[in-house]
Amino acid sequence: MTPKHAILAIGLACAAVTPAAAQDLPARIKTAGKVVVANQPNYPPMEYKDPATNQLKGLDIDLGLALAKELGVKVEWSDIGFEQMISSLTTGRVDLIHSGMSDLPKRRETLDFVDYMKSGAQFYTSFERKDEFKVPTDLCGKKVAMSRRTSFPDETATWSKTNCEANGKPAIQVVGSEGSADARAQLKQGRVDGAVQGSETLPYLISLEKDTYQIVGAPFTAVLQGIAFPKAETGLRDAYAGALKRLIASGEYKKIFDSYGLGVTMLDTVLINGEAVK
């Protein structure tokens, strides 16, 4: 099954959202007139700070603001480290997480996700070594850096077992970094041979830094990115699902994704925990 088909297969089941829940925000959110959203702006083009103005920018920022406008509230962005986001959500410090988070089965044990795009883990190397690493298996036995806070280390190790070790090649040496920016720094310094990050981010980085990075192969996972909510906040979750559905219908959703050149990552319908919303 190809990554594209795997993503499509995820949405075959249906999650019911009642019309009232899809329209109405919880009373506490209405009273506050805002949602507090966890976001760490270090993952361009999804979220980042404009170096000239220090203003928040990115697809997640634009989509988050559009969703809040649709719901009639404002957004208070809370800059929280990725590893602290889930605890901040479950303890009530923030209302939701909108920060390039993958909707993973293990995260669904404590969170619900309104999925809004598809992504995948992607190998890349430095441009100067593009002839050395032409296909992903060329990275077998090599040092590959990726954020230790993400699902990439486990996914890379799993891929390595199937594509390297099972074929008699040495395993990829997974190097956990402090984030995607740290992984890129290690790659530039020659401390690692390759790196991994979300496929949605690399075209943007390549456009910014010409002849610096080279994508190796196709994405080797197929995952959904979602806005995360506490399990108990079904009202807020469903209100966001309804708002996203209206943005898709109006064309605003497509406009936002196209503005970042990420139309290929769009979903055809709203999903909650990977299941299509009726």
- For the segment 4-16, what is each residue's pLDDT rounded down to a tens digit? 444 444 343 444 4
Give the integer Cα–Cα distance in Å for 213 and 203.
10
Instruction: Write the single-letter amino acid at 269.
Output: T
Beta bridge partners, 213, equal 126
Quickly state the pLDDT bin for 20 (edges 50, 70, 90). Answer: very low
Q: pTM for this one?
A: 0.78
pLDDT at position 18: 39
Instruction: Specify the CATH class of 3-119+223-277 in words.
Output: alpha beta
pLDDT at position 154: 95
Q: Which CATH number fits domain 121-216: 3.40.50.2300, 1.20.1050.10, 3.30.1490.20, 3.40.190.10?
A: 3.40.190.10
Please determine whether the domains at 3-119+223-277 and 121-216 fall in the same fold group of CATH. Answer: yes
Chain mean position to CA 188 = 24
Domain boundaries, the chain: 3-119+223-277, 121-216
pLDDT digit string, tens, across residues 231-248: 999 999 999 999 999 999
pLDDT digit string, tens, across residues 125-160: 999 999 999 999 999 999 999 999 888 999 999 999
Provide the pairing of β-strand 121-126 with 213-216: antiparallel
Q: How far is CA 23 from CA 27, 34, 126, 203, 245, in A?
A: 12, 16, 48, 36, 11
pLDDT digit string, tens, across residues 69-84: 999 999 999 999 988 9
